[in-house]
């Protein structure tokens, strides 16, 4: 007689395995969901951090005193305010940046040293026409080549000139910020210049246009900045999506927008961020919030981004990651 399992024993084993399988399948499902959630969170945190780091890197080289805020789809001439007066309604940040690309040439001397000999400043009566300034330690002959490369493909007519802003002007609050830097009028505090092409005079800065409404010798100080472009961070509604940036909607995906960097334009020459001249680069997609404000001389940023169905169904889990950073 052979030994075997009874029917009761078989039923008991089947029931036990069924119970174990049920809990096991649920456990595996939870583990997989946790993995997907963690992966989505890590990817979103990395994307958000990369975007805010990129913006911060550009803002670190801003010329302080030139930062403004704008409201999208509002008139250019009056639609801006200085950084200290920013509100939650301002969604575009714009500034004039130092020309770091033309300064750091990799040689013994920088492209522009940032200092001039004040003895080379002409008398006030001679400031209306073209004149030259002596900037010790500069290698201005290298600036031209860099500018040509930076503006390759640009439609601007001002591809060989750059702006000069003296530090005294950036701290002077006696005039409106609009005509200061060309945001609403000509750039009253920006001197238009060209680099000297003669190697023997590599320290000579050629001023070709002194602003008609500038404030005499108060424009000048020992320290100056060279700039070849303004920058702006602009929210863009993706193609095919309704313009719902400022009108909340029940569908969270429709609230997303992209952030675009615009550059290679000169407000002091009448070029604006929303014209045909600026070049454009995508910074971030699926942005749900972008805010900036003044913080004791620094710029405080906040950026929030959505997963937007990349890993998770937004109807089940609307995953959002926010990052904040202060740029001094």
For residues 201 and 267, state if they share a domain: no
Among 225, 249, 277, residue at a domain's last position: 225
Reported as a pLDDT band with limits 50, 70 and 90, residue 315 is low
Q: Which string of DSSP letters, residue by residue, matches 49-103?
A: HHHHHHHHHHHHTB-TT--EEE-TTS-TTT--EEGGG--TT--EEEEEBP-HHHH
In a domain? residue 220: yes
For residues 103 and 133, state if they share a domain: yes
What pLDDT, on the 0 to 100 scale, is given for residue 229? 93
What pLDDT, on the 0 to 100 scale, is given for residue 274? 87
Reported as a pLDDT band with limits 50, 70 and 90, residue 324 is very high
Separation between Cα atoms, residue 227 and residue 44, nearest integer Å: 34
The backbone torsions φ and ψ at residue 207, rounded to the nearest 5 degrees and listed phi first, read: -90, 115
What pLDDT, on the 0 to 100 scale, is given for residue 247? 41
The predicted model scores a pTM of 0.83
Among 199, 225, 251, residue at a domain's last position: 225
Reported as a pLDDT band with limits 50, 70 and 90, residue 73 is confident
DSSP structure class, residue 24:
H
In a domain? residue 76: yes
In a domain? residue 20: no
Give the residue among 257, 77, 282, 285 at the shortest CA–CA distance from 179: 77
* Per-residue pLDDT tens over the stretch 210-250: 877 666 666 788 999 999 999 999 999 876 665 544 443 33
* Per-residue pLDDT tens over the stretch 268-307: 888 888 888 889 999 999 999 999 999 888 999 999 999 8
Contacts of 277 (CB under 8 A, 6+ apart): 154, 155, 156, 264, 265, 271
Reported as a pLDDT band with limits 50, 70 and 90, residue 259 is very high
In a domain? residue 46: yes
* More confident of the two residues 108 and 327: 327
In a domain? residue 11: no
For residues 213 and 256, state if they share a domain: no
For residues 240 and 278, state if they share a domain: yes
Q: Check pLDDT > 60 for residue 208.
A: yes
**DSSP bridge pairs for 301:** 292, 325
Separation between Cα atoms, residue 255 and residue 49, nearest integer Å: 20
What pLDDT, on the 0 to 100 scale, is given for residue 234? 94
Question: Are the C-beta atoms of 169 and 189 separated by less than 8 Å?
Answer: yes
Q: b or e along 241-278 (b: 16 or more beta carbons within 10 Å of the residue's beta carbon)? A: eeeebeeeeeeeebbbbbbbbbbbbbbbbebbbeeebb
* Per-residue pLDDT tens over the stretch 81-108: 888 888 888 999 999 999 999 988 877 7
Q: Which string of DSSP letters, residue by residue, matches 173-236?
A: -SS-HHHHHTSSSS-TT-EEEEE---GGGTTEEEEEE--TT--GGGG--SBEEEES-EEEEEEE
Quote the number of domains for the chain: 2
Separation between Cα atoms, residue 283 and residue 23, nearest integer Å: 45
In a domain? residue 258: yes
In a domain? residue 321: yes
Q: Check pLDDT > 50 for residue 173.
A: no
Question: Are the C-beta atoms of 246 and 252 separated by less than 8 Å?
Answer: no
What pLDDT, on the 0 to 100 scale, is given for residue 156? 66
For residues 66 and 147, state if they share a domain: no
Mean pLDDT value of segment 250-271: 78
For residues 290 and 259, state if they share a domain: yes
For residues 202 and 102, state if they share a domain: yes
What pLDDT, on the 0 to 100 scale, is given for residue 213? 65
For residues 210 and 112, state if they share a domain: yes
Highest mean pLDDT, choosing among 39-43, 147-151, 209-213, 216-220: 39-43
Separation between Cα atoms, residue 233 and residue 327, nearest integer Å: 15
The backbone torsions φ and ψ at residue 269, rounded to the nearest 5 degrees and listed phi first, read: -110, 15
For residues 217 and 258, state if they share a domain: no
Among 191, 206, 225, residue at a domain's last position: 225
For residues 55 and 109, state if they share a domain: no
Q: Check pLDDT > 60 for residue 117.
A: yes
What is the pLDDT of the chain when averaged over all its residues? 82
Q: Check pLDDT > 60 for residue 139.
A: yes
In a domain? residue 34: no
Number of helices (H), then strands (E), in the chain:
5, 13
For residues 212 and 234, state if they share a domain: no
Per the structure, the complete domain to which residue 169 belongs is given by 98-225
For residues 269 and 316, state if they share a domain: yes
What pLDDT, on the 0 to 100 scale, is given for residue 268? 87
């Amino acid at each position: 007689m052979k030994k075997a399992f009874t029917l009761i024993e078989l039923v008991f084993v089947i029931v036990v395995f069924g119970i174990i399988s049920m809990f096991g399948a649920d456990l595996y499902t939870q583990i997989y969901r946790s993995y997907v959630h963690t992966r989505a969170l890590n990817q979103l945190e990395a994307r958000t951090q990369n975007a805010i780091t990129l913006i911060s890197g550009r803002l670190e080289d801003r010329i302080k005193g030139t930062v403004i805020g704008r409201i999208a789809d509002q008139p250019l001439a009056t639609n801006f305010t200085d950084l200290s007066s920013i509100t939650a309604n301002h969604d575009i940040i714009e500034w004039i940046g130092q020309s770091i690309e033309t300064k750091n040439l990799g040689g013994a001397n920088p492209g522009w040293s940032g200092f001039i000999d004040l003895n080379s400043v002409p008398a006030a009566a001679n400031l209306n026409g073209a004149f030259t300034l002596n900037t010790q330690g500069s290698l201005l002959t290298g600036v031209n080549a860099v500018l040509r490369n930076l503006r390759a493909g640009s439609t601007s007519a001002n591809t060989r000139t750059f702006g000069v802003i003296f530090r005294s002007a950036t701290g002077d609050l006696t005039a409106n910020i609009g005509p200061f830097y060309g945001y609403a009028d000509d750039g009253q505090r920006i001197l238009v210049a060209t680099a000297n092409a003669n190697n023997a005079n590599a320290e000579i800065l050629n001023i070709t246009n002194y602003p008609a409404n500038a404030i005499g010798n108060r424009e000048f100080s020992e320290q100056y900045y060279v700039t070849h472009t303004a920058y702006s961070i602009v929210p863009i509604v993706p193609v095919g999506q309704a313009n719902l940036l400022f009108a909340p909607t029940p569908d969270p995906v429709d609230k997303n927008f992209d952030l675009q960097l615009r550059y290679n334009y000169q407000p002091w020459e009448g070029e604006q961020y929303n014209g045909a001249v600026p070049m454009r680069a995508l910074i971030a997609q699926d942005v749900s919030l972008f805010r900036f404000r003044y913080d004791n001389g620094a710029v405080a940023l906040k950026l929030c981004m959505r997963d937007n169905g990349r890993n998770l169904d937004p109807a089940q889990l609307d995953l959002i990651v926010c990052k904040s950073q202060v740029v001094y």
